[in-house]
Structure 1
Amino acid sequence: MEEDEKAWLAANRDKKTPDDDGWVNISAHSVGASGNGEKGEKEWCGVVGFFHPFCNAGGGGERVLWAAIRATQDRWPSAKCIVYTGDHDVNKDMILARVRERFNIHLHAPTVTFLYLTTRRWVLASTWPYFTLAGQSLGSVILAWDAFSLLVPDIFVDTMGYAFALGLSKFLFKHVPTGAYVHYPTISTDMLQSLDPSSSVGGQGVNAGKGAGAKGVLKRTYWQLFARLYSRVGSSIDVVMTNSTWTQGHIQQLWGPLRRKSKKQNPIVVVYPPVAVSELEEEIEVSEESEKKREAVILYIAQFRPEKNHQLIIQAFSEFLKRGSDAAKSAQLVLVGSVRDDHDSKRVYKLRLLVNELHIKDRVKFHLDASWPQILDWLRKAFVGVNGMWNEHFGIGVVEYQAAGLISVVHDSGGPKLDIVTEVDGKPTGYHATTSSEFALAFEKALSQADPLAMRRRARISAKRFTEQQFAKKWTAQMEKLVAMKV
């Protein structure tokens, strides 16, 4: 890596430095190892290991990874960023090219490299048809051992949610600081409560009501034991970041008591994931002129997975049409999403059957595996953006709705409720709903807005909290704590 850096400097002597591309400018924070202008910290040249076995997947979790590496490179130009990955089918140049194309994030190539793991199959759900949570967690330990056999970093950071990998690191290498960016808790109290049909969340989630009978008792006991183990490994992590207030609350509930006992000084903080807010603002106009081009389209952008609850939104849309109001006369529901495998294809087929049964086939469109330009076209013309997932951990898609100026109708839970669709200047940026009837009423309100442009502008203001620049500053502040433990 040092040789690559020398070669890069020689080839680019007369060109701008890697820090001059305008992506973001990171200034030193108060948590410095040197404590007097951060010179010692700025020149820190250690190795940061990023544990992200699926780094080439191209999803929101990967955007966090690459934005984190970019912020780390900006703050510590001499540091070496190592990514532990299982993507053997792609080399470094191919991965970095996809990062540029997919996320518009330009990394400084000489100080980032990849170490390839051979045991990634152990963290696949398909490897563990039974006791999947425990199996995948054990698999992450195997995968972490694989990673450490290649290189033990100065700082070890997990950006996928493999807390047990961090637990192994702390067990083997006590003096290696560990950091976690938690997208969602592997298990939560809501999951446990969902097993009980009589609880407030008993009818929600993919395991809703499965706590009855002998099999249900076994499942509940297994989850409770797993939650204890999960809490123990979580208590050993030095710096913990979560992607939302909802995730923070559950992680504090699970990890907090033991972290306090072990006297972990760093609080669990929220670092919102980076969203391409600026790009959407540039691509999509929100003005009186653009308002004339909006159509009565309710847009749902989401993968066709069971937790996204497309069925609820289709049923709500059918109820909305039955109202026969002026707002419903020309309304359309557009479902945009990717299809990963045969299971997703069958799910789409069942949704099409439901649309036929409800006699709304001519009012619902399915747009599968849409390209980014096609998604932008829908964001320009749509009126409402909807999200039907219960306890969405954050909701990057909802932020994209706001950045594009859509009026959001989201499930009254999780990140969309607590962090995203909130008031601006005491006025709403969208609507919350839980049942199909509530969603139908929210569609009515959204499409009947007397001044929709005002709400769109408030939504855009709200979205500015989730930019790449905001993420970089908060990420760097937490990374400085880890660097301070090594310098």
Structure 2
Amino acid sequence: MTWIISYSLFWVSAAAILPPKSRNLGLLILFTGIALPWLVILTAKLVGWRLVRKASARRIPILATTREEEEAYHERARVSPNSEDADWVEVEEYPAGTAPNGGQAPDDWGGIVGFLHPFCNAGGGGERVLWAAMKATQKRWPKALCVVYTGDHDAAKSTILERVAQRFNIHLHSPTVVFLYLQTRHWVLSSTWPHFTLLGQSLGSLVMAYDAFSLLVPDILIDTMGYSFALALSKLLFPNIPTGAYVHYPTISTDMLDSLHVEADKGVNAGTGKGLRGFVKRQYWHAYASLYRSSGGDIDVVMTNSSWTQAHIKSLWGAKRMGRRKMHPVDVVFPPVAVEDLEQAIDLEGPKAIQREKILLYVAQFRPEKNHDLILRAFARMVQGDIKDVKLTLVGSVRDDDDKKKVYALRLLAHDLKIEDLVDFCLDASWPEVLNWLRKSWVGVNGMWNEHFGIGVVEYQAAGLICVVNNSGGPKADIVVESDRGATGFHASTESEYATSFAKALSMSDEATIEMRKRARASSKRFTEEAFAIKWVEQLQKLIDIQQVAGK
């Protein structure tokens, strides 16, 4: 409402400064200026009402199918008790909640939570957050329905859930999980917008969000991929539907703006702010940052994956959220990591401890920002020195053609650096394969500048690897930090620093190595799946409270 008042005052001022002879023009300007925002709001409400009516027809069969699957599941469990999913037993054994005055108990809430995650089958760290969030939701609110808006048309529900179990060891209760398939995911691909990519993808997310709402309008909408513009559209169309955002990385930040002037290799846009073209790019980025600030102002509950991301989001969205009276502060909810599984699977000492090999392991999706090129060059520099009999293994999922091209380019670079025989590529690895690499590798590598958090780095720590990470972002601020007993890893920024850190990590004494492995594992306990679930339930409860108040 504040923006409408400010907008109206602007047009009143514009009309007032016109000369008396232009009185009619001034009145026309005044009427148009004041009426336009109200016309937009009215149109949005009409469109939202139409979408709710349209989607309600689909809501009924979705709920009916869920009930049928639930009944079939329990019938199978009755006939064959041994086949029952242990995780779902935990859900059913969750202690029943109570509500005052005969109201609905918290864990009896049975609404629909919509998760906007069009690349849910990608298999990366962001997807782990999605599935762990759904798992925590199912445990706390067994009657709730989790709907994922995805563009993965090539994967059926059973295929996706099977991959979730294999890749992340997360087992979801299938009957209360629904996948709705978007037709417009290509609108948010960077390849669709070769120019003005940030703005194009954000506008494309509006098209994709409308597509999602046409399929089903949820009771609560949560974005887990950074589509704040989609949440803004949701709030415009459906003011009473609470919105939440789990922010892995701000779409634009002051660091990104500053990187345009950086000469060193920091970020994929480093040094591109020079000349006339650079000037235009700076102005475009600043204009986009203004739109991004506004898009985050109406989100009811905002979670970030690290203190680094929290600081940037507070800087970008804080003033807008305060002006729009959003009462819940931006909170850090560290991503879930399979710390317990790794501890059980990998012994650091004793007769069961595996003999590690001199392997540098980098687990990351094959994308430009992951900076595989830097790691290859640093590795090549190191092997030219005194360190011998060492290999580099690159493990990651391949999402699309762009990722495939990236892998091909990295293979060519390894060939040019004459290290192709020392570099292994492990594509689309299952969780057992990743676990095997974590068990036998020596050093865990992170190469991304300003990595938002770094789930892979926590996995390194839990597995007892010696970490060499970029001296920035979450790995520096939250993960590879100094403990009371000493360092938990190494930080590096340049090719030379990485090569030196690799050499140090590989040449420490046995005693120093095992002590650092222990410190790293102890540090990783801050990022367990249980810790994430507790925080997630707290945040989702806020959204449920808002939804219930709005429904009265």
Q: Which moved more, 1:86-95 or 1:394-403?
A: 86-95
Indicate the SS of the match to 1:253. Answer: helix
How far apart, CA to CA, are the structure 1 residues paired with 2:162 and 2:244?
27
Q: Which moved more, 1:217-226 or 1:257-266?
A: 257-266
Q: Give 2:411's aligned amino acid.
A: Y
Indicate the SS of the match to 2:280. Answer: helix
Indicate the residue corresponding to 2:238 in structure 1.
173
Shift in CA distance, 314/203, structure 1 to aligned 2, threshold 3 Å: closer
**In the TM superposition, what is the alpha-carbon distance from 1:213 to its structure 2 partner?**
0.9
Q: Give 1:232's aligned amino acid.
A: S
How far apart, CA to CA, are the structure 1 residues paired with 2:159 and 2:193?
31
How far apart, CA to CA, are the structure 1 residues paired with 2:354 and 2:168?
30
Give matches, 1:324-473, under 5 Å: 324=386, 328-339=387-398, 341=401, 342-356=404-418, 360=419, 364-369=422-427, 371-372=429-430, 373-450=432-509, 451=511, 452-473=513-534
Q: Give 1:4's aligned amino acid.
A: E
Residues 26, 472 of structure 1: 8 Å contact kept:
no
* 1:149 aligns to 2:214 (yes or no): yes
Indicate the residue corresponding to 1:315 in structure 2.
377
Shift in CA distance, 253/6, structure 1 to aligned 2, threshold 3 Å: same
**In the TM superposition, what is the alpha-carbon distance from 1:20 to its structure 2 partner?**
4.9
Indicate the residue corresponding to 2:278 in structure 1.
216
Indicate the residue corresponding to 1:77 in structure 2.
142
Residues 278, 467 of structure 1: 8 Å contact kept:
yes
Among candidates 333, 348, 351, match of residue 271 of structure 1: 333
Q: Give 1:469's aligned amino acid.
A: E
How far apart, CA to CA, are the structure 2 residues paired with 1:472 and 1:140?
28
Q: Give 1:239's aligned amino acid.
A: V
How far apart, CA to CA, are the structure 1 residues paired with 2:500 and 2:433?
29
Bigger RCO (CA 8 Å, 6+ sep): 1
* 1:303 aligns to 2:354 (yes or no): no
Indicate the SS of the match to 1:83. Answer: strand
5+ long unaligned stretches in structure 2: 1-65
How far apart, CA to CA, are the structure 1 residues paired with 2:352 and 2:417?
31
Q: Which moved more, 1:118-127 or 1:234-243?
A: 118-127
Q: Give 1:475's aligned amino acid.
A: W
Indicate the residue corresponding to 1:117 in structure 2.
182
How far apart, CA to CA, are the structure 1 residues paired with 2:450 and 2:87?
38
Indicate the SS of the match to 1:424. Answer: coil
How far apart, CA to CA, are the structure 1 residues paired with 2:72 and 2:174?
11
Residues 398, 416 of structure 1: 8 Å contact kept:
yes
Among candidates 227, 250, 253, match of residue 188 of structure 1: 253
How far apart, CA to CA, are the structure 2 residues paired with 1:69 and 1:227?
31
**In the TM superposition, what is the alpha-carbon distance from 1:135 to its structure 2 partner?**
0.9
How far apart, CA to CA, are the structure 2 residues paired with 1:462 and 1:297?
22
Residues 358, 441 of structure 2: 8 Å contact kept:
yes
Shift in CA distance, 231/287, structure 1 to aligned 2, threshold 3 Å: same
Q: Give 2:543's aligned amino acid.
A: L
**In the TM superposition, what is the alpha-carbon distance from 1:115 to its structure 2 partner?**
1.9
Question: Which is higher, the Rg of structure 1 or of structure 2?
Answer: 2
How far apart, CA to CA, are the structure 2 residues paired with 1:254 and 1:213?
27
Shift in CA distance, 336/466, structure 1 to aligned 2, threshold 3 Å: same
Indicate the residue corresponding to 2:155 in structure 1.
90
Residues 33, 483 of structure 1: 8 Å contact kept:
no
TM-score normalised to structure 1 length: 0.90
**In the TM superposition, what is the alpha-carbon distance from 1:434 to its structure 2 partner?**
1.3
Shift in CA distance, 79/263, structure 1 to aligned 2, threshold 3 Å: same
How far apart, CA to CA, are the structure 2 residues paired with 1:307 and 1:457?
30
Indicate the residue corresponding to 2:13 in structure 1.
none
Q: Give 2:306's aligned amino acid.
A: S
How far apart, CA to CA, are the structure 1 residues paired with 2:248 and 2:444?
22
Among candidates 219, 240, 248, match of residue 310 of structure 2: 248
Indicate the SS of the match to 1:12. Answer: helix
Shift in CA distance, 153/138, structure 1 to aligned 2, threshold 3 Å: same
How far apart, CA to CA, are the structure 2 residues paired with 1:392 and 1:323?
29
How far apart, CA to CA, are the structure 1 residues paired with 2:168 and 2:118?
19
Shift in CA distance, 314/96, structure 1 to aligned 2, threshold 3 Å: closer
**In the TM superposition, what is the alpha-carbon distance from 1:89 to its structure 2 partner?**
2.5
Q: Give 1:378's aligned amino acid.
A: W
How far apart, CA to CA, are the structure 1 residues paired with 2:110 and 2:128?
24
How far apart, CA to CA, are the structure 1 residues paired with 2:92 and 2:460?
23
How far apart, CA to CA, are the structure 1 residues paired with 2:107 and 2:125?
29
How far apart, CA to CA, are the structure 1 residues paired with 2:429 and 2:121?
18
Shift in CA distance, 295/119, structure 1 to aligned 2, threshold 3 Å: closer
Residues 196, 210 of structure 1: 8 Å contact kept:
yes
Indicate the residue corresponding to 1:207 in structure 2.
269
Residues 444, 468 of structure 2: 8 Å contact kept:
yes
* 1:486 aligns to 2:547 (yes or no): yes
How far apart, CA to CA, are the structure 1 residues paired with 2:280 and 2:396?
36
Indicate the residue corresponding to 2:164 in structure 1.
99
**In the TM superposition, what is the alpha-carbon distance from 1:247 to its structure 2 partner?**
1.3
Q: Give 1:389's aligned amino acid.
A: M
Q: Give 1:295's aligned amino acid.
A: E
**In the TM superposition, what is the alpha-carbon distance from 1:37 to its structure 2 partner?**
12
5+ long unaligned stretches in structure 1: none
CA deviations over 1:323-343 (Å, ceiling 9, x no partner) = 53xxx2444333344555342
**In the TM superposition, what is the alpha-carbon distance from 1:288 to its structure 2 partner?**
4.7
Q: Give 2:481's aligned amino acid.
A: T
Indicate the SS of the match to 2:105. Answer: helix
Indicate the SS of the match to 1:368. Answer: strand
Residues 131, 170 of structure 2: 8 Å contact kept:
yes
Shift in CA distance, 119/318, structure 1 to aligned 2, threshold 3 Å: closer
Q: Give 1:466's aligned amino acid.
A: F
How far apart, CA to CA, are the structure 1 residues paired with 2:85 and 2:508?
49
**In the TM superposition, what is the alpha-carbon distance from 1:184 to its structure 2 partner?**
0.9
Residues 170, 178 of structure 1: 8 Å contact kept:
yes
TM-score normalised to structure 2 length: 0.80
If each structure's helix is expressed as a fraction of its own residues, which one has the higher value? 2
Shift in CA distance, 430/9, structure 1 to aligned 2, threshold 3 Å: same
Give matches, 1:22-101, under 5 Å: 34=99, 40-101=105-166
For these two proteins, the number of residue pairs brought into alignment is 474
